[in-house]
Amino acid sequence: TEASFINARENLDVVNNQGVSDLDGAELKARFAKQDLQKYLKGDYPKELKEAQNRITVAEEEVRRAEEKRDWSKVLFGERYLSESEYEGDVLAAQKARLDQELAQSNLQLLKTYTYARKLAELESEVKQSKLAFERARRKARANSVQADADLRAKESEFKREKEKLEKIQGQLAKTKIHAPTEGLVIYSTTAAGSWRGNAEPLAAGQDVKERQEIIYLPRASQMQAEVKIHESSLDKVKVGLSATITVDSRPGKVYTGKVASISPLPDATSMWLNSDLKLYKTIIHIDGDGSDLRTGMSCRAEILVQEFAQTLFVPVQAVVKRDGKEVVYVGRNGKMRQVEIGLDNDIMVQITKGLVSGDMVSLTPPLAGDGAY
């Protein structure tokens, strides 16, 4: 494309120069044609006309002299001073002079009637044709120049696109080198990701990857995070920035602290595939401090602190049931139903804000009739 661009640029100069040359040649021919017409009208024709008239004058003088000599020869022939052949020669000379006179007059008539008109028409046509040729040359030169300029712009645009494409490819090639920011362990994303079909193989040479596809992990013990899944019913309680405690099965007795960093806007696809009614949202918790004793892929459990109360009343969640759209508990040994108002819960205990006092005995096995347990 660069060679085509250079060729188009040089071709534009050649076309413009050729156009100037053609215009100069056509203009010169038009000027010469006009000069030839003026030359004929003011020079050649008057000269030819005068020469024809002079030949007539000379012929008339020759006729006069020949006739005088013939007449004198006739007198001398009658008196026997000239021979008959000499007399006949003078008669023939007089006739020839008369014919030359008539021929000169005919030539003058032809010059005025035919030759002048034809020559004038030819020269005028030549002037007109040369003007038309000049106009054609001018239009052709302009059209060729416009065409060459358009071709140059097209080649230049194509050349720029190819340069940008080349620069993009060079940039892409440069980005194919991935540099680790720190020292550490490299883990294939396929190794860390579980699958119901079994473990996926690591990336192979020549394998295609998609945009934003996870390829490798660079786990750093100094900065660890926990990935947990929250049920859709608890999403309104969890917010980014809330504190959390994490326990790891392989590290019994040790509790880690952290904060909620992000909550996925979409439910986990794997959980939905296994159970379409189960909506779990991936939540990332950044763990505080040094996690050098942790390893990627370990199982953990997280408790997110939604709200703290210095003193509050709570009961097991199974003790609260709904009757006619209201929350109730069954109090005492006789199981007397009492309406209550509830607050937050953690799937184990539920807060009671009204309806009970500390020390009340509630039933953990309330009747199942009605709307069902809370």
Output the CA torsion 69→74→76→82 (10° steps): 90
Beta carbons within 10 angstroms of residue 228's beta carbon: 19
For the chain, the maximum distance between any two Cα atoms, rounded to a whole number of angstroms, is: 198
How far apart (Å, rounded) are the C-alpha atoms in residues 264 and 283?
A: 6
Q: Which tokens go with 324?
A: 């006619």
Burial tier of 243 (Cβ tally within 10 Å: 0-12, 13-18, 19+) = middle
List the pLDDT tens digit at each of the 374 positions of the chain: 888 888 888 888 888 888 888 888 888 888 888 888 888 788 887 888 888 788 888 878 887 887 777 777 777 767 777 677 777 787 788 888 788 888 888 887 887 788 778 888 887 888 888 888 888 888 888 888 888 888 888 988 999 999 999 999 999 888 888 888 877 778 788 765 655 555 566 777 888 888 888 888 877 666 788 999 998 988 888 999 999 999 998 888 899 999 999 999 998 888 788 788 889 999 999 998 877 788 878 899 999 998 888 889 999 999 999 888 899 999 988 888 999 999 888 778 899 999 999 999 999 988 765 444 44
Residue pair 222/232 in contact by the 8 Å Cβ criterion: no
3-state secondary structure of 13: helix
Residue pair 245/227 in contact by the 8 Å Cβ criterion: no
pLDDT for the residue 291: 75
Query: Residue 247 — φ and ψ, nearest 5°?
Result: -115, 140
* Residue 70: alpha-carbon gap to chain centroid: 104
How far apart (Å, rounded) are the C-alpha atoms in residues 340 and 256?
A: 36
How far apart (Å, rounded) are the C-alpha atoms in residues 284 and 340?
A: 35
pLDDT for the residue 301: 92
pLDDT for the residue 76: 74
Q: Which residue, among 279, 242, 244, 285, has the nearest Cα to 262 in the 3D structure?
A: 285
Q: Which tokens go with 110?
A: 């032809």
Q: Which residue, among 56, 158, 62, 156, has the nearest Cα to 112 in the 3D structure?
A: 56
Helix (H) or strand (E) holding 17: helix 2-39
Q: Which tokens go with 243?
A: 């504190």
**Residue-wise DSSP of 134-200:** HHHHHHHHHHHHHHHHHHHHHHHHHHHHHHHHHHHHHHHHHHT----SSSS--EEHHHHS--TT-PP
pTM across the whole model: 0.43
pLDDT for the residue 371: 47
pLDDT for the residue 374: 40
Q: Residue 193 corresponds to which amino acid?
A: A
pLDDT for the residue 199: 55
Residue pair 155/1 in contact by the 8 Å Cβ criterion: yes
Q: Which tokens go with 350?
A: 């539920």
How far apart (Å, rounded) are the C-alpha atoms in residues 296 and 218?
A: 10
How far apart (Å, rounded) are the C-alpha atoms in residues 50 and 116?
A: 13
pLDDT for the residue 221: 62
Residue pair 342/327 in contact by the 8 Å Cβ criterion: yes
How far apart (Å, rounded) are the C-alpha atoms in residues 187 and 66?
A: 135
